[in-house]
Amino acid sequence: MKRQQVVAQYLSGSIAFAVVTFVCFRLGLNLVITACLYLIVIVLLSLRGSFVLSAVFSLVGVGCLAYYFAPPDFSFRVRDPLDAVIIIVFFTTSAVVTHLVSRLRKSAETLREQAALLDLTHDTIFVRDVNDVITYWNRGAEELYGWKRNEAIGEKSHDLNQTVFPAPLEDITADLIRTGRWEGELIHTRRDGTKVVSASRWSLQRDGQGRPAATLETNNNITERNGPRKRCSRRRRSSRTSPA
């Protein structure tokens, strides 16, 4: 993270805490309400910044609660044991929430990095859910089929590509669920209406209970490879049937 971004985040966090503290103090809000408002600010900061930033402002929140809102006023001593418990609960909750948000942000960043890697390959890769609705569409799929990512996501893959299967789809799906994989040749239709033959590989992803959750489909364009072979086979058949 750049230094300017860190400074900006600390500055915005300081301003947010100062505004919340001023408003709560002037309105005479109690310790619990102020702690909840502080917690909201910390969650928002953790979504934008780092774990360290959120941890720092969690400590700032503890200090503000003890100094301004827990009797005696303008003292870091907390007289009432219940107020001390509220402050401890606030700090614990903010630490847990900050940690969870930090993990979610890291997971999201990892997913973005993995998606960027999938965009580097020339193969067409897309992911569809159990209803065959596309949830991911890489750059290779955009180039081959002509549909942009935002146009493809949310559509049913077999309808969008007008897929022609070598066997009944029900049999292919049953084989996929049984073995977790399927391979075969498919005929797809591009956005411009031209046909393309694809060597397709399907890999099934299961959830924690072992139920089908999604399918990763990889397609290689073999239209040019299949063209000469099919023409040769037609010539052989015609030569056999032609009169001597």
pLDDT of the chain, 244 residues: tens digit per residue:
567 877 888 888 899 999 999 999 999 999 999 999 999 999 888 887 777 888 889 999 999 999 999 999 899 999 999 999 999 999 999 989 888 888 888 888 887 787 777 777 778 999 999 999 999 999 999 999 999 999 999 999 999 999 999 999 999 999 999 999 999 999 999 999 999 999 999 999 999 899 999 999 999 999 887 654 444 344 444 444 444 4
User: Do the domain assignments include residue 231?
Assistant: no
Same domain, 135 and 215: yes
End-to-end CA, the chain: 80
pTM (2 decimals)? 0.58
CB 127 within 8 A of CB 204: no
DSSP state for residue 2 in the 8-state scheme: -
Cβ(114)–Cβ(106) under 8 Å?
Answer: no
**Which residue is it, tokens 């750059």?**
139
Structural domain boundaries enclosing 34: 3-117
CATH code, domain with 128? 3.30.450.20
Same domain, 129 and 220: yes
